[in-house]
Amino acid sequence: MSRFAALLHVPERVDPLRWWLRLALWLGFAAWSLPLVRADIRSGEIASSFLHGPLLLFHEAGHVLMLPLGEWMTVFGGTLGQLAMPLAMAGVLLSKNRDPFGASLGLWLTGVSLLTIAPYAYDALHPQLILLGGHTGDDGPHDWIYLLSSLGLLPRAQGIGRTVHFAGAAVMLLSLAWGAGVLWLQRARISDGEVLREE
């Protein structure tokens, strides 16, 4: 199977209950997308989302995993880990499980991850957000102040934050379109009875 074909793989027979559950899940994620995309980047409003907690764990794990690679990569590792984990999840679902619908949700989570990164990049120029240690970037370490300063990009922090936010919204929209396409293709192969294993 080619890589492109894997993105739209449809089993020979699709279980009707599973298809309806997938549709309900897709509708839920689509509805959830709007408030996440509309969250105020300046106030870091998205930090109150349920998804911020799990993504923060990936972020902190990224810092730890990159420790052997030096200071810059350790700091950048938080952002890298936060993006790599949902992408890895999507990759496993696609390559091992042959589940493009599940992979589309992994890509959606990657988009959300970008949305949660955006306020911190935006905040680097005039730090106001409360960070994990209970301080602002003025009072303690701030990943994005360090990263952007090291690259000479700190004056552009707010534009970079807005760009990251836009990219997150675009990735979420792309993932929803992908999931909808998979559901549309699966619809034509819904079985009349229960399918124990979709292949």
pLDDT digits (tens, 9 = 90+) for 146-179: 999 999 999 999 999 999 999 999 999 999 999 9
**Residue 82 pLDDT:** 96
Separation in Å, CA 62 to CA 59, 84, 88, 122: 5, 9, 13, 21
Q: In residues, how long is the chain?
A: 199
pLDDT value of position 138: 64
> Which has more pLDDT, 132 or 182?
182
Residue 61, CA atoms < 13 Å, CB-side half-sphere: 11
User: What is the reported pTM?
Assistant: 0.92
pLDDT at position 1, please?
Answer: 56
pLDDT exceeds 90 at position 15: no
